[in-house]
Every structure is written in C-alpha cells, then in structure tokens.
Structure 1
C-alpha cells in the first residue's frame, strides 16, 4: 500500500542537504548561464539531488521559463507497427537532444477532441499527422503552441513525412529493372492504413504508366494463406509475374499464399514488401523490401519542430536519398 504521508522532495530539501541556497540549486539544476558557481558546489548540489531522488516540477519549469518542454505528437487511428514505432523512437531521441520530451497520443478525433488534448498538456509544439481547422490553428498560435503538420492532403504547407508514393515507385522500379512487365499490387485488408496504401499503389501505377506497361492488378490480401493463395492464382491467370505488397506483413502473406498454391517464388512470381521487419530476413525465400532511414526522419522532424518553435523554416527532407531497396531472394 502506498504511503499517503510521503511528501514530494523539493528544491528546499536539496538546498538543506547541500548546504546552499535554493537559488544556487536552481542555477545548478537548470544549468543557468553566467553564474559563478564552483565545481565543488555544483557537484555537491547534484549529489544531494541524486541522493534525494529530486526531480524538478515540469509545471514549475513551465511557469518559470514561460515554455513547456513537451512536444505532443498526435497520431490518427493507425496500427503502431515496427516502422511507426522506429520513427517515434528516433524522434524521441532527437528531441531529447534539444531538451524536449515527446508525448505520443494514438487515436482519432472521436476518442477526444484534439483541442482538449493540447490544452490539457500545454505543449511547446504539436506534431500532427491529421488536418486541423483554421480555428484550431488560430487557437494554438494564440496559446504560443507551434504546430507542425507532417502530412497534408489539402496542399497546405510543406509535406514533412516521407512521400508514400516514392516507396511504391521504388518497389515498381526494382521489379521493372529485373524484366517484369506485368505487376500486381497486394492491398491490405485493414482500412486504417489506406492513408499509406493508396499513395503507394499510385507510385506503382505511375512507374507502369511512365514505362507504358499495363495497369497493375490490385488485389486485397488478408493475412490468411488460403485466401492469399487465391490471390496468387488470380495474378498468374492475368499474366502477373511480380507483386508489390503494401508492406512486409502483406508480402509474407503473399509468400504463404504462393506456397499454398504451389507457386515458386521468385521463379513464377516475384514479391517485394516495405519496412524491412525482422521476419523479412527469415522468410523462405528471404523477402526483398523497401526501407526508410528512420534515424534521418526522426532527426529531420525534430529539427523542424525546433525551427517552428523559434519561427524559422525547417530543413528539407532528403526523401530520395533515404528510401532504398533491400534486395533479397524473393525478387
């Protein structure tokens, strides 16, 4: 049972243990510039804070500095797979190097109004993967909250996330370079990821159109070997010799479907996925896939947030340089 009499350790407790003033504790723990504090005093304060387990109050720091150190990332109702998880991890690490703390809220507007979320947390900045109304944007600006919209479907502002169409292009280009002229696209059965799937399919279609190849044959492929096997048979019946899958999970379903249908990969059907998840290296055959350098993506998004907080324009994302094919034996 928790002890209800336990009291929060304060800077006054640290000051008493270290034998210094509260102002000195504040200067040391906040690394305040232009203060003449000896190394011995600084070490004594840090040791006292560590011994007492003292953690400065975030609310007090916000009142003192006039700015929160929290960056709120609002995700739509997306499944948090390995790629999204990796991006969030890299973003968190990059923001921490700027003294900022990442808080992620997955969900959608039906769970809780976005305005309630940012007002409750009072962040320094909001990273959004969804659109905001003009009134919401104006309210954030009035509150001093920097807004970074990572993707936009209305053409407003710069797109900061990796263009999903580029990923589909990379898939199709790899297959076409290997002599395939009739492509298929394995579409996921999870409607939540249409936001990613549709532009990836558009990228595959664009490559085919540019090479004057037939329109890709798109089929929905659930994570079910028997149903995937039917899709594989339909692709072969229409002359498809290579399939771009929405992601590695769907690609693995296509491989399972090919085994179920007795179809050799890559002999009769080549397959390429997206994300380079660990099972992709362990499949039979190992899965060719497209990967994105999430270290660069996280650092870029963090730099954009920091720039937005100071009213500057952030850097350009070198998308073409960080999306690449990982060739293995499936294609």
Structure 2
C-alpha cells in the first residue's frame, strides 16, 4: 500500500523494497527493451510497486516518452446531464485504450481562466466541445500542445470544420415526421450556450424541409418550464397553416412540450406529434412515451479518440465528420 505517513511512494522506495537499484526499477517499470532483466527480478520489482502503491508521475512519463499522456477535454457551460455524462465516460474509456488520460475541465463559472488550465497540465492534446479563439489554439501549440481540436468546429469563417456533425439529426427528425405532417415546428432550447448544437440541428430540419417540399419550419424558443412551453404550443397551433409536427432540440425540450400540451388539454400525437433526440431515461416513461433519435455515443467517442491519436502520431486525418449512426426509436408521441 502507499506510505503510511501519507507520503507518495517513489521509485527509490520501490528499489529499497525490492532490493534492487533505482535504475533497475526504471528499466522494469518502463519496460525498457534494451535491458536484460531476469524474470524473477522483474516480478520482485512489480510486486514491490504494487505493495507500495507506486505510480510514475506525469512529469516522469513526459520525460520518458517525450510527451504528456493527458488529453484535456474542454466543456462549455452546459448542464452535465445524461448524454454529456455518457460521452465523457466513453471518451475516458476510449482514450484509456490508447494509454491516454482524459482530463475534463468545465467552463462553468466561477472557474480559472482557460490559459491557466492548459499551462498547468501541459496536455499532449486538447479536445474542446465548444468553439474558442484561434489565438488560444495557436498559444496552446506554441506551448507544446501537439493537437488542438474542436468537436463542433469553429464559428469563425470555417477555420475548424466539425468533427461531429449535428445537421443529420435534424434531417432525420424532419424526414420521420414528413411521412404524416406537412408543416413542422422546431423547439429551440432556451439556453444560449447550446446554439453550437441547436443551430446545425435546425439547419438540418430546414434543408430536409426544402428537399421534401415543405414550408420553412416554425421555430419557437421553448423553456423547460411548462408555462413558457405552453406559449410555444399555442403559437404552433395558431399558425396558418397550423403546425402538426415538432422537431425538438433534445428529449428535455421535447418533454417540456409534452407537459405543456397536457396542461392545455392536448394529446400527442393527435394534436401535435413530437420527436426528440438522445433517448434519455425519462423518454420511455413519458406520457405518451417519447419518439426520439438515438445516437451511438460509443462510436462517436471512439472516433474522436482515433482522430486525436492519429494526429498525435502524425497520421493524416479525414476531412469529413465522424460517422454517427442514427436511428429513430418510435414510441407513442409521433
């Protein structure tokens, strides 16, 4: 176990415990192929390291390999709920398969300035879920960070294309509803920071409507509270011609629409059909159960990890977004 006085075990402690030199400990734990260490000695060193709870420091690994093993994940000021939590866990697992550590930093206030964070951990790569200034990316690279990627690209003149495209989600929603509905609405989230996701999803709905010969979607900002959502529902039904199918930004917004409909004495899908995104746990227990677009979070996480690792290895990475298999889980709301 670790030192009883709370001090972190060192390679010197391991050497004393195993009865070998510190150089031997380094050769064994770093699996140096140029040193012939007897198998019995290797086992003794590993057993000693396990008993003491020894782990090489990040600085030592950096000196040995020539780069940090940390990938810094930058989160925007979003609520860390079911889907984002799943993505973080899957990214952690995916990077671990490549012997990289995924370290997450949220920009939720109050927080330290971004520059202080990446300077303190000197990551090998930065993977951001939101846009950030290109000058910040340049500063990271100048400080030794080899790879800087933004999952959803850059809003500034297309300087960074998205690694994951959101447009196909909106298109899938619109195409599903278009089988039975000729006027669609879009339930936009009442949180400005989600625009990086909401805008391309809405654009996917718009493009699908053009392709299918449907009118421009009727866009309403829908708060998660039932009273604010009810105003949007009333506006959709009062439109000319009335909206009969709703593409919601995600399941949380879709559930707000369903609750608002119930408060107005309306029923889905009879009065309004509703489709969400993400298949959160509450989707199946909603009244009626929510039809939703399901993403393959594991495929996204593995794809993102592969892009980062390939870039670190100086391999050419594809220009197109990561393939994100989508399917519609049909339930009672649409």
TM-score in same-fold range (> 0.5): yes
Residue 75 of structure 1 is matched in structure 2 by 75
Output the CA distance in 2 between the equivalents of 1:298 and 1:4: 39
TM-score normalised by structure 1 residue count: 0.90
After superposition, the Cα gap between the structure-2 partners of 1:267 and 1:134, relative to the gap in structure 1 and judged at 3 Å, is closer
Output the CA distance in 1 between the equivalents of 2:150 and 2:103: 16
- In the TM superposition, residue 264 of structure 1 has moved relative to its aligned partner by 1.5
Pairing 1:285–2:259 present: no
Residue 43 of structure 2 is matched in structure 1 by 43
Runs of 5+ consecutive residues of structure 1 not aligned to the other structure = none
Runs of 5+ consecutive residues of structure 2 not aligned to the other structure = none
Pairing 1:222–2:223 present: yes
Residue 187 of structure 1 is matched in structure 2 by 188
After superposition, the Cα gap between the structure-2 partners of 1:32 and 1:121, relative to the gap in structure 1 and judged at 3 Å, is same
After superposition, the Cα gap between the structure-2 partners of 1:229 and 1:312, relative to the gap in structure 1 and judged at 3 Å, is same
Residue 122 of structure 1 is matched in structure 2 by 122
- In the TM superposition, residue 133 of structure 1 has moved relative to its aligned partner by 4.5
Q: Is the 8 A contact 2:14 2:49 kept in 1?
A: yes
TM-score normalised by structure 2 residue count: 0.90
Q: Is the 8 A contact 2:9 2:54 kept in 1?
A: yes
Output the CA distance in 2 between the equivalents of 1:144 and 1:160: 22
Output the CA distance in 2 between the equivalents of 1:85 and 1:111: 20
- In the TM superposition, residue 85 of structure 1 has moved relative to its aligned partner by 1.7
Farther-moved stretch of structure 1 (165-174 vs 207-216): 207-216
SS of 2:274's partner is strand
Residue 94 of structure 2 is matched in structure 1 by 94
CA RMSD of aligned residues (A): 2.3
Pairing 1:271–2:281 present: no
Residue 31 of structure 1 is matched in structure 2 by 31
- In the TM superposition, residue 108 of structure 1 has moved relative to its aligned partner by 6.8
Output the CA distance in 2 between the equivalents of 1:189 and 1:138: 33
Pairing 1:16–2:32 present: no
1:172-202, Cα deviation, whole Å (9 max, x unpaired)? 111112x111111111112221221122112
Q: Is the 8 A contact 1:297 1:317 kept in 2?
A: no
After superposition, the Cα gap between the structure-2 partners of 1:220 and 1:308, relative to the gap in structure 1 and judged at 3 Å, is same
- In the TM superposition, residue 138 of structure 1 has moved relative to its aligned partner by 3.6
- Would you say how many aligned residue pairs link Structure 1 and Structure 2? 327
Output the CA distance in 2 between the equivalents of 1:221 and 1:267: 20
Residue 244 of structure 1 is matched in structure 2 by 247
Farther-moved stretch of structure 1 (22-31 vs 87-96): 22-31
